[in-house]
Chain A
Amino acid sequence: MPRRTVGPPERGSAPGGGLDLLRVPVLGALLRRRRVGQFALLAVAAVLVIHGFLGPQLAPKNLATLAVWVHYRGLLVLALLVVGNVFCTACPIMLARDGLRRFVTPRFAWPRALRGKTPAVLLLVGVLFGYELWDWWGSPAATAGLIVGYFAAALLVDGLFTGASFCKSVCPIGQFNFAGSALSPFEVRAKDAAVCDGCSGHECLTGAPATPSAPAARGCEMGLFVPSKAGNMDCTFCMDCVRACPEDNVALASRAPGVELSEDVSGSGVGRLSGRRDLSLLALVFVFGALANAFGMVSPVYALQRTIAYALGTTSEAAVLGVLFTSLLVVEPVLLLGVAAWASRRAMPGRPSLTSVAARFVHGLVPLGVGVWAAHYGFHFLTGLWTIVPVAQSAAADTGFAFLGEPTWGLGGLTERAVQPIETGLLLLGWLGSLMVLHRIGTREAPGAARAATLPWAVLATLLFAAALWLMAQPMEMRGTFLDG
């Protein structure tokens, strides 16, 4: 398989003409020392849990609901677009996990039947469903409980099973990050392929023993071997490989965002995207879940929910949401992808199966999915940017520390009118990105008839883009239930 490197590094300069974030002063040091970020986010998580359980049970006045559903989500998506998967880097759960493993040695390998992304993708769907059904966004105690539950689940899984089982096969947020980081402008890779060619220790994968001058370093728990790693899938930016490499030959290097979606090279620990149905499923849920999640906050969804409830003769919100989620995440994708695959495969050599065609092209829709997530979460983040200030002031005052001053409740963020062009721009970028990636996939899969193979998918991407534009133009109506009020 082809190896992509960024060329031999020069001291103090970016390798291969690109940018190596690990060489950027301060930022590089922070990225190398993930514990700094992990301790910081652990402290934040502790504050959110305490305030979530014991603070005001009003979502806009509680740090748990505000920081998790407005700021964390927004910053996470923006970080994916600007840098990469840095929220996995600073994941405080891994700090707790590593602490646990000082006392508990996991004995079991993750069950073969549960390997791959399918269980985690189903959990991701479950999270999206639970978010709507139980209105986690409106309950500080539920949000705090969710944080505690997340820690408990991770510690249970990684206390029993070896490696990074939770990150690789369970964590729904991690899978979201892996899918979204395909569009990130940076990836971990070798600086110089020749250096890796001469390496016999493979420390980036297996770890490095302690030396008189350096402590032992862990190898990649996700099973990614740097010289043959391709893209950001399964990479948590943990920098274990950076610390383990005795040649300092690993960079966090700039690259063309989205390139891994169309290259289809067999990357270490991941394989080919086109050969992994579970990764295609992840891409599908990532894209259609973005639209479903945004649909949940606009007015028409409530009318639709009432219609479904009337048709079913039920007042069960779970039943109505079940129908809605099945429609948006199963029926709609199957129909749309099926039609696009049917139209596309006629131009493809060998007439592959519809499933095979859809599995290859669905990755081309990921940029649009990133655009929708960024527009949606960016809206909440930017319009509520400064609301964290008075809530933090109030929380500090409630604990007897008034050093933050009196709460200034009037603080908000950008106006909806100011954010709307940003939303549109993000959607536009996502749509254009999808068209480019789809064209590259079409060129790869049908070299003689790329245009004909790509056209149905370009039409689908355009339809989804139009749907996203329509969604963002709808009046927002954030409600806990559709059955009363």
Chain B
Amino acid sequence: MSGLRATGGCPATRTAGEAPSRRAHRPAPREWRGVGRVAATLVTALLFGACSGGGTGAGGLSVTWRLDPTPPAVGPTALEVRLIDPAGAPVTGASLEVEANMNHAGMVPVFATLEETGPGTYEGTVDFTMGGDWFLLVEAALDDGRTVERTLDVKGVRP
């Protein structure tokens, strides 16, 4: 994915350990902290600035991401995600799954699995099915057992 450019994207909002698969339901105590999470999201967004294409979550893990083409359009779109640990080293051996969804209710989500193509670099294809604003729920299962989740905003997918 050479020549990729960072698109607008908001930094991480959630990090959790021992989380079950994204497709399975999430545990109640975490999920029902909605108001607190909204506040946390706002604070995080303020801290990291608006949609920089990467960020560091509560677990200290840095996540950067890119889409190709940029700006994205309806159809298959290459997604690259890079994971960096607090020491600056790439995070290898993780399993990354992505759920892409529109910010409007009533659309069927699109799923993708990212493959590790280099140290800490994971690539895959997301098939945007409609123009508009999307978000990507990225779930990384690390080899130490932790699970890291990120919500990445993808504004203005072209029809």
Binding site for B on A (CB under 8 A): 53-62, 65-66, 69-70, 137-138, 140-141, 299, 380-381, 383-384, 387, 393-394, 397-400, 402, 406-407, 409-413, 475-481, 484-485
Residues of chain A within 8 A (CB-CB) of B71 are: 485
Contact present for B107 and A397 (CB under 8 Å): no
- Which stretch, B18-26, B58-66, B85-93, B114-122, touches the partner chain A? B18-26
Chain B 106-157 interface residues, beta-carbon cutoff 8 Å to A? 106-109, 111, 130-133, 135, 137, 151, 155-157
Cβ contact of A141, chosen from B28, B38, B104, B111, cutoff 8 A: B38
Residues of chain B within 8 A (CB-CB) of A400 are: 28
Residues of chain A within 8 A (CB-CB) of B5 are: none
* B102 close to A (CB within 8 Å): yes
Contact present for A60 and B8 (CB under 8 Å): no
- Bound-state CA distance A66–B105 (Å) is 5
Q: A60-B107, A387-B105, A476-B159 are in contact. Are A409 and B32 (CB under 8 A)?
A: no
Residues of chain B within 8 A (CB-CB) of A481 are: 155
Cβ contact of A397, chosen from B25, B104, B109, B130, cutoff 8 A: B25
Q: Which residue of A lies closest to B137 (CB)?
A: A58
Nearest chain B CB to A176 CB, angstrom units: 20
Nearest chain B CB to A237 CB, angstrom units: 27
Cβ contact of B108, chosen from A59, A381, A398, A411, cutoff 8 A: A411
Contact present for B104 and A59 (CB under 8 Å): yes
Nearest chain B CB to A409 CB, angstrom units: 5
Contact present for B28 and A475 (CB under 8 Å): no
Residues of chain B within 8 A (CB-CB) of A65 are: 105
Contact present for B34 and A57 (CB under 8 Å): yes
16 additional A-B pairs beyond A478-B133, A485-B133, beta carbons within 8 Å, are A53-B34, A54-B32, A54-B35, A57-B41, A60-B109, A70-B106, A138-B103, A141-B38, A397-B26, A402-B25, A406-B24, A407-B24, A411-B108, A413-B106, A480-B155, A485-B156
Contact present for B25 and A398 (CB under 8 Å): yes
Residues of chain A within 8 A (CB-CB) of B33 are: 54
Chain B 33-50 interface residues, beta-carbon cutoff 8 Å to A? 33-35, 37-38, 41
Residues of chain A within 8 A (CB-CB) of B135 are: 58
Residues of chain B within 8 A (CB-CB) of A387 are: 105-108
* B101 close to A (CB within 8 Å): yes
Nearest chain B CB to A296 CB, angstrom units: 11
Nearest chain B CB to A137 CB, angstrom units: 6
Cβ contact of B133, chosen from A140, A299, A399, A479, cutoff 8 A: A479
- Bound-state CA distance A81–B106 (Å) is 22
- Bound-state CA distance A484–B9 (Å) is 12
Contact present for B23 and A60 (CB under 8 Å): no
Cβ contact of A476, chosen from B25, B26, B101, B131, cutoff 8 A: B131
Q: List 16 A-B contacts (CB under 8 A).
A: A55-B34, A57-B38, A60-B104, A61-B101, A70-B106, A138-B104, A384-B107, A394-B25, A397-B25, A407-B23, A409-B108, A412-B107, A413-B106, A476-B132, A479-B132, A479-B155
Nearest chain B CB to A475 CB, angstrom units: 3
Residues of chain B within 8 A (CB-CB) of A410 are: 108-109, 111
Contact present for A406 and B25 (CB under 8 Å): yes
Residues of chain A within 8 A (CB-CB) of B108 are: 384, 387, 409-413
Residues of chain A within 8 A (CB-CB) of B103 are: 58-60, 138, 478, 480
Cβ contact of A393, chosen from B25, B37, B158, cutoff 8 A: B25
Q: A479-B132, A484-B155 are in contact. Are A60 and B25 (CB under 8 A)?
A: no
Q: Which residue of B lies closest to A484 (CB)?
A: B155
Chain B 50-107 interface residues, beta-carbon cutoff 8 Å to A? 71, 74, 99, 101-107
- Bound-state CA distance A417–B95 (Å) is 35
Residues of chain A within 8 A (CB-CB) of B158 are: 477
Contact present for A62 and B155 (CB under 8 Å): no
Q: Which residue of A lies closest to B156 (CB)?
A: A485
Q: Which residue of A lies closest to B27 (CB)?
A: A398
Q: Which residue of B lies closest to A401 (CB)?
A: B28
Nearest chain B CB to A75 CB, angstrom units: 13
Q: Which residue of A lies closest to B25 (CB)?
A: A397
- Bound-state CA distance A25–B105 (Å) is 36
Contact present for B159 and A477 (CB under 8 Å): yes
Residues of chain A within 8 A (CB-CB) of B32 are: 54-55, 398-399
Nearest chain A CB to B97 CB, angstrom units: 12
Nearest chain B CB to A136 CB, angstrom units: 11
Cβ contact of A478, chosen from B24, B35, B37, B102, cutoff 8 A: B102
Top 8 closest pairs, chain A to chain B, by CB: A384-B106, A485-B156, A485-B155, A397-B25, A475-B159, A412-B108, A477-B131, A70-B106
Residues of chain A within 8 A (CB-CB) of B28 are: 397-400
Nearest chain B CB to A275 CB, angstrom units: 41
Contact present for A383 and B41 (CB under 8 Å): no
- Bound-state CA distance A402–B33 (Å) is 19
Contact present for A60 and B101 (CB under 8 Å): yes
Nearest chain A CB to B98 CB, angstrom units: 13
Cβ contact of B34, chosen from A141, A397, A406, A411, cutoff 8 A: A141
Contact present for A409 and B156 (CB under 8 Å): no
Nearest chain A CB to B30 CB, angstrom units: 9
Residues of chain A within 8 A (CB-CB) of B159 are: 299, 475-477
- Bound-state CA distance A36–B74 (Å) is 45
